[in-house]
Structure 1
Amino acid sequence: MQIQDLLKRTDKLPNVPDVVRELIQLLNDPNAKYSDIAARVSHDQTISLKVLRIVNSAYFGLARKISSIDEATVLLGMDRLKTLVIASGFASSVTKVDGIDLPEFWTESFRVAELSQWFAKRTESVDADEAFTIGIVHNIGRLLLHLTAPDVAHDIQTRVSNRQASRFKAEQDLLGFTSQDAGKALMDMWHFPKALGFAVQQHKRPFADGDPDPLACVLNLACYLNACIRTEREIDLVREGLPMAVIEAAGLSPSIVYELDDAMAVSDGLGHLIH
């Protein structure tokens, strides 16, 4: 099987709104104007309504009800608005996937996004906006696989669940590529910034192809902590298992091991609100 075989099934691909793709492109534009982005978001009624519902939820705890995207932009700031639009847009991209519990899938994706952002804010090597976005889409290749080749996806999951192989090996054996490769290909097709697709492709094995990419390393660390949270690992074991080579490659200080309590308490509130 080739990755292009998956991408040709356009009727099965996630349908990410144009406004989300445009905002992701604007991550690299420091001159983007509040008014232009707010106007673009306002033109997408589905995204606008979802963003306003989230903004007015207890999660943000604002003192009064917000009734327009312009108000949301002023009160929340551009970074938070972009976060909400990207998160809600991706969560709306598919409604049902065989073999995947979507609420759980997105809740974990948003937690990884929050953790990626947490690490990025502690290094000068990675942009926090990019880190959040990459966390949301880091597992998009697995979603693509389940949408376009559900039988193969089921066989891979069976091998992993029965401990016959790691997910990486099972995907290589049955596909000839990984879901991370598929995720990068999908992001390239959507014209996402190249750096984001590369980080998705590399994050599982950041040292596999020469010098590690700091964004991929931040994502690797976020996925590690997410797994620790999911399995309720004791904090001492979390510290012991922290990959220090990845910490260094991400541009982080080794002393970050003493801040992991804060990271483990990172909220996944968006995951519950988006659905």
Structure 2
Amino acid sequence: MSAALLVSNTQTLFSFPDVALRINHLIEQPTTRPDDLAAVILCDPGLSARVLRLVNSAYYARATPVATVSQAVRLIGQRALRDLVIATYATDLFKGLPPQQVNMERFWFHGVACGIAARELAIQCGLCGGEHLFLAGLLHSIGKLVFFSQCAEAYLNVFQLIESDKLTVVAAEEQVFGFNYADLGAELLKKWRFPELLWKAVAYHLTPTSAPDYRLEAEIVHSAEQVATIVQSTAIDGGDTLAASAAECLKTLAVRLALPEETVLTLPNMINLQIVEVFEILLPGSTLIY
């Protein structure tokens, strides 16, 4: 079975609510006004509250509070709003997976950290529209959730290969399924009609140098994932896991992205507050396991 076939066979399980689809449709229409979008968002009170919390969070660093959804749309723009709506609903799609398969709080914390790091790195690289790489970073590992939810029994073979043959996750997935979680995630994002640059950034984030196009986007998501691992080590795992190697890793990323070393070295601390705040908004009531 190919990644595309697996996604096609299960896409109804991973479809967005009508509100998200209507917002996506409206944004594609040149005559859409901010009030049109606000009216749709207000149909979902929970979404309205989360959008306002996100717009007023450290992620956007607004000098004055945003009081209404209409005002939020005008301030951040329609496409940024779509990113927030998709992020909000995406975190709800895979609820209910057994905790022995995946700790969802840790999974989404890592995703949020990767998304925010990708956004900041894209801005630093001067990438036009790079703020939209937040979604690519947030969802870079979503293929894992498709594996866990649809291929739970077969995925046990992946764990066995990791344990017995000391294979990496990616190598074990490719041996069992013929494709890996990045391939699967990219196929899902294609089905969700994400822009090509986003699903290709996910598809090639494991091996950016092999990307036929959008190589910088893939490189940014690749680097952001490593930054997210460092942040997660500090915020959740006690701070010592990667302490010795973190600086060298970040210096290497600076070279790969042609950024000033200090810019990348300070990134984990700079985005830490944003990550915690956005995580708590996207997953209200979640408790990270320290």
Is the shorter-chain TM-score for this pair beyond 0.5, marking a shared fold? yes
- TM alignment of 1:1-275, pairs within 5 A: 1-10=1-10, 13-20=13-20, 33-52=33-52, 66=67, 68-73=68-73, 77-78=76-77, 81-98=81-98, 99-160=101-162, 164-209=166-211, 213-231=215-233, 232=239, 237-242=245-250, 244=252, 247=254, 250=257, 252-254=259-261, 256-260=263-267, 262-263=269-270, 265=272, 267-268=274-275, 269-275=277-283
SS of 2:208 mapped into structure 1: coil
Distance in 1 between residues matched to 2:250 and 2:25, nearest whole Å: 32
Mark the CA change 1:22 to 1:124 in structure 2 (over 3 Å): closer, same or farther.
farther
Distance in 1 between residues matched to 2:26 and 2:229, nearest whole Å: 31
Mark the CA change 1:264 to 1:58 in structure 2 (over 3 Å): closer, same or farther.
closer
Mark the CA change 1:147 to 1:62 in structure 2 (over 3 Å): closer, same or farther.
farther
Number of aligned residue pairs: give it: 272
CA displacement, residues 105-158 of structure 1 (integer Å, 9 cap, x when unaligned)? 112111111111111110123523321111111111111111111112233244
SS of 1:73 mapped into structure 2: helix
Query: Match of 1:37, as an amino acid?
Result: L
Mark the CA change 1:43 to 1:86 in structure 2 (over 3 Å): closer, same or farther.
same
The RMSD of aligned alpha carbons is 3.7
Distance in 2 between residues matched to 1:28 and 1:219, nearest whole Å: 26
Contact 1:134 1:200 in 2 (8 A): yes
Q: Give the stretch that moved more between structures: 27-36 or 3-12.
A: 27-36
Distance in 2 between residues matched to 1:252 and 1:18, nearest whole Å: 41
Mark the CA change 1:263 to 1:210 in structure 2 (over 3 Å): closer, same or farther.
farther
Q: Percent identity?
A: 22
Query: Match of 1:215, as an amino acid?
Result: E
SS of 2:166 mapped into structure 1: coil
Distance in 2 between residues matched to 1:114 and 1:14, nearest whole Å: 23
Distance in 1 between residues matched to 2:27 and 2:129, nearest whole Å: 9
Query: Match of 2:76, as an amino acid?
Result: G
Distance in 1 between residues matched to 2:23 and 2:255, nearest whole Å: 30
Distance in 1 between residues matched to 2:7 and 2:271, nearest whole Å: 36
Q: Give the stretch that moved more between structures: 48-57 or 202-211.
A: 48-57
Distance in 1 between residues matched to 2:163 and 2:214, nearest whole Å: 30
The gaps in structure 1 that reach 5 residues or longer are none
Q: Give the stretch that moved more between structures: 5-14 or 225-234.
A: 5-14
CA displacement, residues 6-41 of structure 1 (integer Å, 9 cap, x when unaligned)? 224337732323554676789999997433332332
Distance in 1 between residues matched to 2:26 and 2:247, nearest whole Å: 36
Query: Match of 2:232, as an amino acid?
Result: R
Distance in 1 between residues matched to 2:114 and 2:135, nearest whole Å: 10
Mark the CA change 1:236 to 1:101 in structure 2 (over 3 Å): closer, same or farther.
closer
Quote the offset at 1:191 in angstroms.
Answer: 1.4
Match of 2:286 in 1: none
**Please, what TM-score do these two structures have when normalized by structure 2?**
0.76
CA displacement, residues 37-80 of structure 1 (integer Å, 9 cap, x when unaligned)? 323323445422443465678998997794x4224435x53376
CA displacement, residues 82-127 of structure 1 (integer Å, 9 cap, x when unaligned)? 4532321111222211312222211211111111111111012352
Contact 1:125 1:250 in 2 (8 A): no
Quote the offset at 1:171 in angstroms.
Answer: 0.8
